[in-house]
Amino acid sequence: MRAEATDWSIQEVARLAGTTSRTLRHYDDVGLVPPSRIGANGYRYYDEAALLRLQRVLLLRELGLGIPAIADVIAGQRDDREALRRQLAQLRQEQERLARQIASVERTIETLEGGEQLMAENMFDGFDHTQYREEVEREWGAEAYATSDAWWRGLGRDGQAAFREQVAALNRDWIAAAASGIDPDSHEAHALAERHVEWLGSTPGIPRTGDAPAKEYVLGLAEMYVADPRFAANYGGATGAAFVRDALAAYAANRLS
């Protein structure tokens, strides 16, 4: 462990954080926690900002969120302190859930010792730990939100099908535009980006500046499209995704704040 370190090697971070270098490389590969620099030797080094981001990722991971959802959540949380305060609240809820679970086990023990009958209704209190994942996803992130919440159900079958078709059409148009060789700064690309941002803005729960999706949110999401092959697949692969990212970046620079 280096005294006065301003950054840390992958193994140092893995040890500090109770995780593995494999996990960290994976998180880099998918763009979730990039190292702050790559040394001349090709090694990854992580600075404080990277550690802070990792802390937040590990917390959300522990809540059961998948990687795309975490990316979405983090893209939507612009202020570190505010984000951590929100996560603190969730940890406190988790603490309560655990306390309830402990109480359940205590009751089971007492019931067994008294030779009484178990009460099925309350022997699993505190056992459901998926609620926080769903809650976090619901609160942040257009894409997760669109598929998991009352708003989605409220669309009804026809509305859902229309939404899906809107997304599919947008994706097809992005793929075609990327294949046509136009510039990400062109008028056509601009129009597609506008459609994309409008689509994002049509779902509740995403960060906004005024009526429009927040610039940083859009930019962060665009980066994820490239870094995670699952997103990139929507746009025909890495090249297409890079085109979408560049077009969105150009659009955001001019039209979002």
Partner DNA sequence: GCTTGACCTTGACGCTGCGTCAACTTGTAG
Partner DNA sequence: CTACAAGTTGACGCAGCGTCAAGGTCAAGC
Binding residues for its own copies, rule: CB under 8 A, are 1, 5, 8, 16-19, 48, 51-52, 55, 58-59, 62, 80-81, 84-85, 87-88, 91-92, 94-95, 98-99, 101-102, 104-106, 108-109, 112-113, 117-118, 120-121, 123-124, 127-130
Size of the site for DNA (CB under 7 A): 22
φ, ψ at 213 (rounded to 5°): -55, 145
φ, ψ at 34 (rounded to 5°): -70, 150
Other residues' Cβ atoms within 10 Å of the Cβ of residue 179: 12
Strand partners, 9: 45
Question: Which H/E stretch holds residue 45?
Answer: strand 44-46
Q: Is 22 in the site for DNA (CB under 7 A)?
A: yes
Give the strand order in the sheet containing 37-38: 8-9, 44-46, 37-38
Cβ closer to DNA: 93 or 148?
Answer: 148
Q: CB–CB of 243/251 below 8 Å?
A: no
99 binds, among its own copies, DNA, none (CB under 5 to 8 A by kind): its own copies
- Conformational region of residue 203, where left means phi above 0, alpha means psi within -120 to 50, and beta covers everything else: beta
For the chain, give the number of residues. 257
Cβ closer to DNA: 67 or 256?
Answer: 67
94 binds, among DNA, its own copies, none (CB under 5 to 8 A by kind): its own copies
Smallest Cα–Cα separation from 34: which of 17, 10, 12, 16?
10
Q: Is 230 in the site for DNA (CB under 7 A)?
A: yes
**Smallest distance, its own copies to C-beta of residue 168, A:** 29
**Smallest distance, DNA to C-beta of residue 180, A:** 29
Taking residues 208 to 227 in sequence order and writing x for each that binds DNA by CB under 7 A, - otherwise, the string is: --------------------
Residue numbers at the binding site for DNA (CB under 7 A): 9-12, 20-23, 25-26, 35, 39-44, 61, 66-68, 230
